[in-house]
Structure 1
Amino acid sequence: MPHETPLLRFGVIADPQYADLPPWLEMDRYYANSLGKLREAIGALNGEDLSFVVTLGDLIDRNWESYDPVLSAYEGLQHESFLMPGNHDFAVAPDRLADIHARLGMPAAWHDFSRDGFRFIVIEGNEISLFSAPEGHPRRTLARERLATLRAQGAINAREWNGGIGEEQFAWLKETLEQARSAGEQVIVMGHYPLFPENEHNLWGHERLTDLFARSGNVVAYLNGHNHAGNLGRNGNTWYVNFKGMVDTEKENTFAVVEIFPDRIAIIGHGREESRTLPL
């Protein structure tokens, strides 16, 4: 007999990628239309009983001024909101790069929080990238080296629009998973970049994280955006759910409500997002 009352419910939005720009028709991206879609999604999510709503990155497509209209749309959200940046959120003037996490109201670039016996971990896959730090910064230099190594290996995710995490963040992630296990908490990790299945959009060094999650054994799901087509996979005990990008298509929306039960995760898709039942 399946459990009927969820332990936890939360909303998910991915890749609104707003900008006051004409559409990129070849990619089916309608940047300016995302404001209306965002307001529609927020209206629908306000009608749900939710612990919080998470947005999995790429709130804007480019330009610092794009943040004002997007973040003003979020002011209508009646639930607690967790925002994180994607690669496009760093497409701003170099002197603004250090302000992105604060602009999104984040307590830190990577952080965790607990809700109803679950630990949620937010990772920052833009940390080591060609866009999150100004030219000449050590992180930018490290990103060039990592990308060159991946290209030499023929990796399909050796792309300038992907990123990775540094050693300090990886050590923190490992320690946070251990703390959650000691506390008897199951974990849901959230980030912008996919980790699994193999895809050209995947985080640089994704295998290290999927191996860590498999060893840890308490990560029930990893949630991400970035690949606007969406994706789904399972590796070990962990479901990898890639939510579809809101910016795609002229009119159709996409967002979701996630319900966690003792024996399954239910995803209630809206618009283009698929509904799924993922057994635990």
Structure 2
Amino acid sequence: MNRKEFLYTSSTLIGGLSLGRIPFPAFRQSIRIGLITDLHYAERDTPEGSTRFYRESLKKLSECITVMNREKVDFLIQLGDFKDQDDPPEETETLAYLRTMANELSHFNGPIYHVLGNHDHDSISKQQFLDGVTISGFNHPKSYYSFDKNGFHFIVLDANYTATGEAYDHGNFDWKDANIPQDQLEWLRKDLKRTRKPTIVFVHQRLDEKDGNANYCVRNASAVREILEKAENVTLVLQGHYHPGDMSTINGIVYYTLKAAVEGSGLENNSFAILEIDKKLEMNVIGYHKTESRLLRS
């Protein structure tokens, strides 16, 4: 039995079945999730030779919200690098960019969630970012957390730590040095043990290591994947950070990297998507503009 068959069979047993944890859920709905990543908003010009149009990301976010409200998705999540900074950076301006984007995002008519990216700590701290956004259901938002919706379990991870476990703060990091510290790994193990619901993980940096993409990956990605695989109920990991986008499958888990919204001028170069998951765990991406629509299989 593969992972998808296991998840579908176990979640449809009448009355549930205990396997030393909590009973399997007897009913699960379908779900539709709005996705956008790597907006990198700042009121700055595009450097020569760059394809990042920072100040246009506000309009791109606005278009995304209009679509998500029209489509009535169950929630909207941004996968990191929500904003950027000036060159040279100034903390007050960076916080202003964060407020501008958070205010625009508040026009979405539903629950909102955030994943923290490396640029969300460029000239501010982790706590300053969290204080500037709303994460639905949390009065005091944390950088990693979990929640349930429509019979699914969702986990948000934060890989913005150095190899020594120090949190990214005011630019004290190398973007190629992303790590999930030991205390968060222990939290992840415990969180997964508490649920048998089909589980989806959100993270900014990639967990699917491939030849040539190591700089975009969490350094201890293999340790994270081992935890996800042992849980046996994780079906999908959604990522940002790697602007061209990508997809792979490792040991039955799909790793889908959404294309960056900041790349390219004009709304025709926007990028966002709706992820639809039905009761049989068929996963379908409906892409907008640069993001292609595709069926994801686990």
The aligned residue for residue 156 of structure 1 is none
- Cα distance change, pair 264–119 in 1 and its aligned pair in 2 (3 A): same
Structure 1 residue aligned with 2:277, among 260, 263, 266? Answer: 260
Shift of 1:160: 3.6
Give 3-state SS (helix, strand or coil) of 1:71's partner: helix
- Please state how far the C-alpha of 1:91 moved relative to its aligned partner: 1.2
Task: Give the one of 99, 114, 121 matched to 1:83.
Answer: 114
- Structure 1 unaligned segments of length 5 or more: list them: 144-158
Note the C-alpha offset of 1:97: 4.4
Alpha-carbon shift at residue 32 of structure 1 (Å): 0.4
159-168 or 35-44: bigger deviation: 159-168
Structure 2 residue 219 is matched with structure 1 residue 219: no
| Equivalent runs, 1:1-280 vs 2, <5 Å | 7-62=30-85, 63-93=94-124, 96-106=125-135, 107-128=141-162, 132-133=168-169, 160-180=175-195, 184-198=196-210, 199=213, 200-251=215-266, 252-261=269-278, 262-280=280-298
Query: Does the Cα contact within 8 Å between 1:89 and 1:100 map onto a contact in 2?
Result: yes
Separation (CA, whole Å) in 2 of partners of 1:97 and 1:265: 32
| Structure 2 SS opposite 1:27 | coil
- The percent of aligned pairs where both chains have the same amino acid is 26
* Offset, 1:133: 3.2
RMSD: 2.1
The TM-score with structure 1 as length reference comes to 0.83
- Counterpart for residue 4 of structure 2: none
Amino acid in the other structure paired with 2:191: T
Distance in 1 between residues matched to 2:162 and 2:188, nearest whole Å: 15
- AA matched with 2:202: M
- SS in structure 2 opposite 1:70? helix
Report the alpha carbon displacement of residue 224 of structure 1 after superposing the two structures with TM: 0.9
Matches of 2:180 and 2:147 in 1, distance apart? Answer: 19
Amino acid at match of 2:116: P
